[in-house]
Structure formats: structure tokens, C-alpha cells
Amino acid sequence: MKPLLAYAQLVRLPNTFTALADILLGALATGFLSSRWNWFWGRLFAEDTSRLATVGQELRSWTVLVCLAVASTLLYWSGMVWNDYFDLDQDRLERPNRPLASGRVTLRAAFWFACGLMAVGLLLAGLADVLSGQYVRIRGVPPEQVSDAFEFVIRWRSLPTAAALVMAIFLYDGMLKTTWAGPVAMGLCRFLNILLGLSVVNLLPPFWGWLLAFIIGTYIAGVTWFARTEARASNQSILMGAGIVMLVSLVLALTIPALALETTPDGEPSRFFPYLLAGFGVYLGLAVVRAIKRPDPKRVQPAVKRAILGLIILDALMASAFVGSIGLLLAILLIPGIILGRWLYST
């Protein structure tokens, strides 16, 4: 059990559910899950099911979602491992209890573990694209060759996004983490993870999809900036600046319901969205303000933990802007994150 515990700490297991929330947000915002639900009820109650997708097609669609969810999780874990891999010298001074710094996981094992996670994550993203492929009619084929009039077309959407995410992970962990661009690089990682979720329908994201990814990416950039010196006394000005960045992301989020109505025919934004978003801002802001007033690890680290797990709440709120209050069910992912967080560090 001890080796498993060390690896669970290495990948920040409680935070895993924030990556899953991003993928499910994409599945809800694009109407993917709504289509699956409509198919299920159609098969149960519709008299004419000839126009509905076959069971095999539906299973393939669900497999695409599972592939992306697992790929996102594995890539997130790899990013956490690389984070400790490149920070080993600093962790030996500031966080000697971390798995690598304490020697519970060897550097060699961490290297191959991270490489394996990335490789499998990329393979699953590619598999999602292949499973989303379709047979399309070839134009200009003579009638007598009708049997050869179709070709299998794969639109590569998920794999390039996952590959870009891998590059962003290395960019952050290996090069930019300690520079002014570090928070931007981390925000880019989350931006790409949202796009990975949106790729579940195998289409290029519309404008609202890019904006959605930008909002979540900006929020995480602020959280990363806020957490830069969480292990020691923090600078109040830096904490204030990071808090403002997080606030800007929440203000931008207010535009999402209008875009959902304009661009999504079946969009049903929750009427409670602005109030819930404001409530989330207060919930997060209280911890941030306490940390700014006394910027020591005992105040800053709980605020960082709240902000990280708060991403699940933000994802749930964004989902409710597209599918109504039912999107808030995404917040259920908070429960395992909080429970695991009692035994495992999330920062």
C-alpha cells in the first residue's frame, strides 16, 4: 500500500477530478450528453426507431468520451509527475516529504511513469479520433461503382489537441514555471484540456468554445500565480494581482449564457447562473482575502486548495449555462476530491 500511496501523492490524486470535470463540461456544452440521453429515451418509447443511431454507434460514441476522460486524467497525472521531477532540488529544501524528495519514488521510476502516462494518453486521444471517423460519399463516382462510393474519413481533432497539451506541460514544467510566463503556461494547459473535452464531437470549436477555454485558462493562470510561493511567506502584491486575474475570469464568465442562447439551439441557461457565480466568487474571495491579509503558508495553502477544487464548481456553473441546472450535477465530482484531500496533498 505504501508504494501506491506515494504514487497517489505524486500525481495529486484529489485534483484528478478537475481534469475529468473539464472533459464532462465539453460533453455537456456541445450537446454530446444530451444527444446520448435523447437516444436512450427514444429507444425506450419511440415507435419508429429507424432514424435513431444503432446500439453499436452509441457505444462507439460513449467509448470516445471514455477515451478522452482517461486521456485527460493520464496527461494531468504526467504533468504532476514532471512537476516534481523538475522541482526535485527545490522540494528537497521546501517539501522534503514529497514522494521524490523523500526517496519513496525513485527519479528513474518517476521518469518512466510520466513517459508511460503521456504515451497512453496520446494513444487514447488518437483512438477517440479514429472512433469518431465516418464513411462519407465520394463525389464524382459513377453509378456502376456505387459500392466504392464511400471512404472512411478521420478528422484529427483530439490527438493534435492532446499533443499540444503535452508540449504545454513540458513548456511549463521544464522551462517557464519559475518565470513570469509560468502562470500563463499553466493556464494554456487548462485551456487545451477544455478544448480536448470539446473535441468529443470531433468538430472545430465555435467561438463560445474558445471563450470557454479562455475563461477557465485565465482562472487557472490566476490560481497558479497565487500559489507560486505557497510553501513560504508570499508577497501581498502578487497575491492581490493573482486575485484580480481570477476575478476577471469570473466576470468574463457572465457572458457565457448569452452566447449559449445565441449559438446553441437547445441552450437552456440556468436562471440562477449569475447568482451562483457570484456566490462562488464570495466563497473563493473570502479565502483569498484572508491569505492576502496574512500571506503565510497556513493561509495561502488552504486558499490554493479551495481555488483548485473550486475549478470543479466553476466547470459545473459553466455547464449550467448550456444545459440548465442539471449541469450543476457536475459538482458531484467535488465529493471524491474532498474525501481524498483529507489524506493526500492537493497542492
From first to last of its 347 residues, the chain has per-residue pLDDT tens of 677 889 999 999 999 999 999 999 999 998 887 776 665 655 556 555 555 557 677 788 889 999 999 999 999 999 999 999 999 888 888 888 889 999 899 999 999 999 999 999 999 999 999 998 765 666 655 555 555 566 667 788 999 999 999 999 999 999 999 899 999 999 999 999 999 999 998 888 888 999 999 999 999 999 999 988 776 777 889 999 999 999 999 999 999 988 776 655 555 777 889 999 999 999 999 999 999 998 888 888 999 989 999 999 999 999 999 888 889 999 999 999 889 888 877 66
Residue-level pLDDT at 185: 97
**347 in a structural domain:** no
pLDDT attached to residue 205: 87
Q: What is the CATH number of the domain that holds 132?
A: 1.10.357.140
The CB density around residue 6, as the number of other CB atoms within 10 Å, is 17
Report pLDDT for 324: 86
Domain of 244? 2-34+53-341
CA distance 321 to 277: 11
In a domain, 41, yes or no: no
Residue type, 245: V
Whole-angstrom CA distances from 38 to 34, 43, 70, 220 are 6, 9, 24, 34
Q: Indicate the SS3 state at residue 185.
A: helix
Residue 42 belongs to some domain of the structure: no
With respect to residue 126, please indicate whether it lies within any of the assigned structural domains.
Answer: yes
Report the distance separating Cα 170 and Cα 86, nearest Å. 10
Total structural domains within the chain: 1
Q: Is there a domain that residue 44 lies in?
A: no
* 48 domain residue, yes or no: no
- Tell me phi and psi for residue 13, to 5 degrees: -50, -40
> Distance (Å, rounded) from C-alpha 176 to C-alpha 162?
20
99 assigned to some structural domain: yes
199 located within any domain: yes
